[in-house]
A and B are shown apart, each in its own frame.
Chain A
Amino acid sequence: MGMKCDVENCDNEATVHLTEIREGKKHEMHLCERCAAEKGLPGKAHFSISDLLAGIASQAQAQAQKGRRGKEAVCPACGTSLSQFQSSGRFGCAECYTAFKDDVMGLAEKIHDSSQHVGKAPKRVSSDVSLQKEIRQLQVELKRAIRREDYEKAAAMRDQIKHLEENLKAGPPEMPQPAEDKPGETPAGPGGHAKKPEGGEKK
């Protein structure tokens, strides 16, 4: 007959086979339905994120010890702390990605082997994205110019970057957001949260 469940003292046939890839290594589990359900498996694509998060937890503690009065890093927008994220594996809001930027980048590298998005972007920001790409490119060139001690070129580049950054802040004039033009059609309608930057007012 088939394979037996991996759980100790369980003689049922393993019908749930889970293969996870953690840091390039394959980990397998063969469980019966009951033990799988008890473990809450499979269901979701939680691939051992707890392992990855364990690393972050120790960083969070180190940070807390280092920080004044032992305060831990907290997202200013939603109040999620790094250790809360560590235990749940879930962020509380989009701002968490900024609040915990260093950890996020490290984590992204571990999970995805990358920390730079290259896919689709909403139309409303795709022009912003190309602007930002241009700015990043210019910053690289600026550094090179400084290294070459070509200060004239560096100054020109600095001005250009400044100009582009202002454009970015102003938002693309040619990109009206149709849903917002009409009253009562604000995209993220409820509670008027739509354009409010996460933070400040919220407890």
Chain B
Amino acid sequence: MTLNEMITSSGEWLRGTGPESEIVISSRARLARNITGLHFITKMEPSERATCEEMIQRRILEAKIAQPGFYIPLHKADPMDRKFLVERHLISKEHEDSQHPRGVYIGGNEAVAIMVNEEDHIRLQVMQSGFQLQEAWRLCNQIDDELEERLDYAFSPQLGYLTACPTNVGTGLRVSVMLHLPALVLTRHIEKVFQAVSKINLAVRGLYGEGTEASGHFYQISNQVTLGRNENEIVQNVEHVIPTIARYEHNARQTLLAKDRKRLEDRVWRAYGMLKYAQLLPSDEAMMLLSAVRMGVHLGLLKDLSLRAVNELFIFIQPAHLQKLTGRALEPVDRDVRRAEYVRTKLGQCKQ
């Protein structure tokens, strides 16, 4: 698999399968690690960064982790490819933007991404489709063990794994679950979710806020605390709250259906109609319309359209995806044309 082949496929975590997949898009576990004896990235000379990057890259490839993959040196990559990887959730916006030698290992059909020389020397992430946080953590832990045999991590018995930012110190573990909550937004009950999770020290973030265009009723829930609790407690703490939120969302969808069925059907079908016939589709608008369509698919209002197809559309209508699909850079207005064309084609392929 190469980066250019990724444009014709989609990652493991977008499959639209797994527990609660009509509401939970994906589950993610991420570990921050640094190499002992080396300065953190910000304090490194350019030459040190280069040697560090090469060394870690070599060690990752030598480790032959169970998820076969490939390594991309990002400082040598095309800027469009870096944007593409951000849209794919395989690298962070910061990793896209920085200048120094850095890279990413992508394995297991995009389930695994190991960022090298990001804020920490190593950022290891595992993503799974649906509500599978335990599985994401299990794999992440396993890969961490494999890497640890070849890399000497900075660690203190008191403070655990030492990270560039003290918000990650300890386990270095951040777990998050990506949720699609359109009905809670429509019924204005989303506040309850925020209240519920804030009580247990979790963070809620919008999803596609990271930098550029669009939203789509996606929310990400993650832990804030990384020290003083072990990894299983951290996973369980986030895991624990998800079924409740999913139930709220289910109830809200059912309430909308029961109380105002015509209005909901109208919303879903209008969104579908717009997507199917629009000639110019700005990103924001497309995301909101897709959000309604996604809910319509789950509620059985729109048949013959799969969650996977809709999930993929959310990603493939992003700017870098569209431009890579087209094979050249596009001005924003041309992107809107291309986006509309792409969505029309995709929806046309699914009979309705």
- Seen from chain A, the residues whose Cβ lies within 8 Å of a Cβ on chain B are 2, 15-21, 26, 28, 33, 36-37, 41-47, 49, 77-80, 88-94, 97-98, 104, 107-108, 111-125, 128-129, 132-133, 177-179, 187-191, 193-198
Contact = CB atoms under 8 A, between A and B. Distances in A.
Contacts of B156: 94, 97-98, 117
B59 to A, nearest CB: 8
Nearest to B221: A19
A118 B43 contact: no
Given A78-B43, A122-B153, A194-B152, A43 B92 contact: yes
B148 A123 contact: yes
Contacts of A191: 48, 51
A130 B224 CA distance: 27
Contact of B224 (A21, A90, A114): A21
Contact of B204 (A19, A80, A120, A132): A19
Interface string B132-161: 000000000100110011111111111111
B37 A42 contact: no
B209 A132 contact: no
B215 interface: yes
Interface size class of B (residues with CB under 8 A): 35 or more
A45 B48 contact: no
A199 B194 CA distance: 45
Contact of A17 (B52, B152, B206): B206
B43 A193 contact: no
A180 B39 CA distance: 20
B327 interface: no
B171 interface: yes
B94 A194 contact: no
Given A93-B40, A122-B148, 16 more contacts: A15-B215, A33-B212, A90-B165, A93-B43, A104-B166, A111-B224, A111-B225, A117-B157, A119-B171, A123-B149, A132-B157, A179-B149, A187-B152, A190-B48, A193-B38, A198-B39
A45 B230 contact: no
B42 interface: yes
B94 A43 contact: yes
A196 B158 contact: no
A203 to B, nearest CB: 10
A71 to B, nearest CB: 20
Contact of B37 (A36, A129, A198): A198
Contact of A190 (B54, B93, B158, B284): B54
B231 interface: yes
A19 B194 contact: yes
B37 A119 contact: no
Interface of B: 34-40, 42-43, 48, 51-52, 54-55, 59, 92-94, 119, 141, 144-145, 148-162, 164-171, 173-174, 185, 190, 194-195, 197-198, 201-206, 209-215, 219, 222, 224-231, 234, 284
A73 B147 CA distance: 35
Contacts of B162: 91, 94, 97
Contacts of A33: 209, 212-215, 284
A9 B74 CA distance: 39
A108 B209 contact: no
A122 to B, nearest CB: 5
Nearest to B151: A187
A114 B228 CA distance: 5
Contacts of B59: 187
Contacts of B284: 15, 33
A188 B37 contact: yes
Nearest to A93: B39
Contact of B150 (A41, A46, A92, A179): A179
